[in-house]
Structure 1
């Protein structure tokens, strides 16, 4: 399994929104500037996250985006599956290896589902490194 930039940048976007959870809407322009990412690319990522109920949009001059749930209720797995689709290891696995690939897939899902957005926000807040370090 290899994550695309959609998955990686989507997690970065969500961490950035999590850093400001409860403080009001965050513009994609400000996220793009802080994280050195393309605002245009972030616009493409925010729509599926909004459709999945992970973020809400706030209209108006001081609008932007906020998390639709508390950061501790959103897992990395939630974000990755919205942006990348279901996690698969092998298409049409050989019958004798099917159980092995299923165990690997389940293990990856278990890890991604065990890490919350809050976990990553806290690492960023107290670690001080650029968010890209964690992805």
Structure 2
């Protein structure tokens, strides 16, 4: 089982958005998220289009435009973010269909199927609000903001 970058980036970007939204009462631009998280803007645009269609984020156009999380943070679970971007958590070779061994169930199908269910249940229980309560999340966020500010300051100084 492997969670692809699509799912990882979607969760990372939304956690970044939640952090920034908790500190500022304005919409957050994708370019700001892209800078802090080292994710391309075009990739974020694809992800946020899907997230917007699922009602997880809302967007505002214009100079002060950007994105906000459209629901209370305690109602946005990690699994809903992952599925919103067409990602799945499935450890089976057959994607849960039961045709993994020449059209029939393989020897370890139930093991991997149950693992997939446990992972999904776990990620469904974890919300953005819970992630925001983690001290490590705030420490990493602070480091990322400081790094971006330092890079911006160094780029602005003449050589």
Residues 1:129 and 1:8: Cα distance change in structure 2 (over 3 Å): same
Q: Give distance in 2, aligned partners of 1:71 and 1:105.
A: 25
Alignment-derived partner of residue 83 in structure 2: 81
Worse-matched range after superposition: 23-32 or 35-44: 35-44
Give 2:111's match in structure 1, choosing from 100, 114, 127: 100
Are the counterparts in 1 of residues 28 and 66 from structure 2 also a CA contact under 8 Å? yes
Distance 1:5 1:46 in 2: 14
Hey, what's the Cα distance between the residues in 1 that align with 2:88 and 2:62? 35
What is aligned with 2:126?
A: 115
Q: Alignment length, in residue pairs?
A: 131
TM-score with structure 1 length normalisation?
0.84
**Which runs of 5 or more structure 2 residues have no equivalent in the other structure?**
143-159
Alignment correspondent of 1:12: 12
1:59-70 aligned within 5 A:
59-70=61-72
Higher alpha-carbon Rg: 2
Runs of 4+ aligned structure 1 residues displaced above 6 Å come to none
Conserved in 2, the CA contact under 8 Å of 1:48 and 1:82?
A: yes
- Measured against aligned partners, the alpha-carbon deviations of 1:60-83 in whole angstroms (never above 9, x if no partner) come to 210100001011111111111122
How high is the TM-score relative to the length of structure 2?
0.73
- Paired residue secondary structure (1:21): helix
- Whether the 8 Å contact between 1:124 and 1:130 is mirrored in structure 2 is no
Q: Which runs of 5+ in 1 are unaligned?
A: none
Rounded Cα–Cα distance in structure 1 between residues aligned with 2:86 and 2:32: 24
Whether contact under 8 Å (1:45, 1:83) holds in the other structure is yes
